[in-house]
């Protein structure tokens, strides 16, 4: 019985040390990466803005469908419409913000060059 508990204790210790070593290696690898340039960051924000614009288009299509066939939705239709209008507003705000951030990073990239 003592051998069993001792074996479990040793295995636990080894597993813990292996996970700590793996974590410290991943932290070291992250520190060695070069930082993103402002132009790369701006490109990422542009991509996010494009995804938001795609979502905006999708939400507008859903709202158009609701307006055309509101009788399909019954009492929940108003909740449906208000929910998608709120999402539309949220996505429009996010797209505008991402575009502003991309422009700011492009300006920073221009100043550093």
Residue for token pair 């859903």: 62
Mean pLDDT taken over the chain: 78
Domain positions in the chain are 1-33, 36-112
How confident is the model at residue 30, as a pLDDT?
44
Angle at CA of residue 44, ends 40 and 45, nearest 5°: 120
Average pLDDT for residues 10-19, to the nearest whole number?
53
Q: What is the rounded CA–CA span in Å between residue 21 and residue 60?
A: 50
Given a cut of 60, whether residue 103 has pLDDT beyond it is yes
How confident is the model at residue 48, as a pLDDT?
94
pTM tops 0.75, yes or no: no
Q: What is the rounded CA–CA span in Å between residue 93 and residue 113?
A: 31
How confident is the model at residue 109, as a pLDDT?
87
């Amino acid at each position: 019985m003592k051998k069993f508990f001792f074996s479990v204790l040793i295995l636990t210790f080894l597993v813990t040390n292996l996970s700590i070593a793996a974590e410290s290696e991943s932290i070291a690898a992250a520190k060695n990466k070069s930082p993103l340039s402002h132009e790369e960051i701006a490109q990422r924000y542009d991509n996010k803005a494009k995804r938001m614009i795609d979502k905006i288009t999708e939400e507008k299509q859903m709202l158009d469908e609701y307006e055309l066939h509101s009788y399909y939705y019954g009492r929940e239709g108003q909740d449906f419409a208000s929910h998608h209008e709120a999402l539309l507003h949220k996505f429009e705000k996010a797209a505008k913000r991402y575009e502003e951030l991309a422009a700011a990073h492009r300006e920073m990239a221009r100043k550093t060059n």
